[in-house]
Amino acid sequence: MSQSAQQPEAPHGAWTYGAPGAPAPVRNGLGTAALVLGIIGAVTGFVPLLFWLGGLLGLLALVLGLLGRGRAKRGEATNKGAATAGAILGLIAMIVGVVIGIATVKAVDDAVDDLNKTAGNTAPKDPSKKDRDGKNAKAEVLAAGESIVYDDDLTVTVSAPEPFTPGEYAVGHTKGNKAHQVTITIENAGKKKFDSTLVTVTARAGKDGVSAEQIFDDKAGQGFDSTILPGKKATVTYAFDTPANAKNLTVEVVPDVWYDASQWDLAL
């Protein structure tokens, strides 16, 4: 009589042959990161100074998005749509970054060109003047009554100095010194308005070139303060305080920060 052997029961919860294993955890991180980086990159790419950052974030989003799609195809992730959207946004961010970058570089180049043109237009022309030998030469320092003409046809003229009597409440005059006045005329023969409020006038006196302080009173010192229209001119009187023994006065005029300075050497 045969006896059948009975197998012992497996303890509760133990793994047995043929039982299904636990499901693998879902790994959606790449797809989510791709979507977030793609959105940020696409927005940042439109900012002129941050286009490079938008392009970099777009590249990361594209790579992470493609990796996320691979995970989804293998069943390791469930957000294939987010990964795809992130990859597409990353590609868009890269394209936007390149376009905005090119536009930014072009805008900067155009601005530099305009600045160079402006600086070139405000350089003095090369007016020929007769020197002491009777030859034609460019005058680096002008004499009384001579004019400097800039490339934009702005003309500056300084007159010969004349004695000046400061008023009772004048500022800038030292007792014992002498006061002299000059008349400065700016003529705008160009095609654009000229803002004369930035005209700068300074002077030095004597062989040592000491600073000649500008005198302010009700008759002099107000300076240029208006716009000079094309075809018009403006004339202003400046007064300077000089040492009593000074024999010459050098006046320097700068029409604007973009213009070269011009000097007149005036005998006192």
Residue 9 has pLDDT above 80, yes or no: no
DSSP 8-state assignment for residue 255: S
Round the CA-based radius of gyration of the chain to a whole number and report it. Answer: 40
Please give the pLDDT value at position 75. Answer: 87
CA distances from 79 to 60, 129, 147 (A): 18, 82, 78
Biggest alpha carbon distance in the chain? 151
pLDDT digits (tens, 9 = 90+) for 37-87: 999 999 998 988 888 998 999 999 999 989 989 998 988 889 999 989 999
What is the residue-averaged pLDDT of the chain? Answer: 84
Residue 20 has pLDDT above 90, yes or no: no
Residue 13 has pLDDT above 70, yes or no: no
Task: Answer for the pair 179, 187: CB distance below 8 angstroms, yes or no.
Answer: no
pLDDT digits (tens, 9 = 90+) for 154-187: 999 999 999 999 988 899 999 999 999 999 999 9
CB atoms near residue 97 (< 10 Å): 26
- Between strands 141-142 and 262-267, the pairing is parallel
Residue 263 has pLDDT above 60, yes or no: yes
Q: Please tell me the least confidently modeled range out of 106-110, 132-136, 204-208, 219-223.
A: 132-136
Q: Please tell me the least confidently modeled range out of 60-69, 103-112, 155-164, 231-240.
A: 103-112
- % of the chain with per-residue pLDDT over 90: 57
What helix, strand, coil percent values describe the chain, rounded to 5? Answer: 30, 25, 40
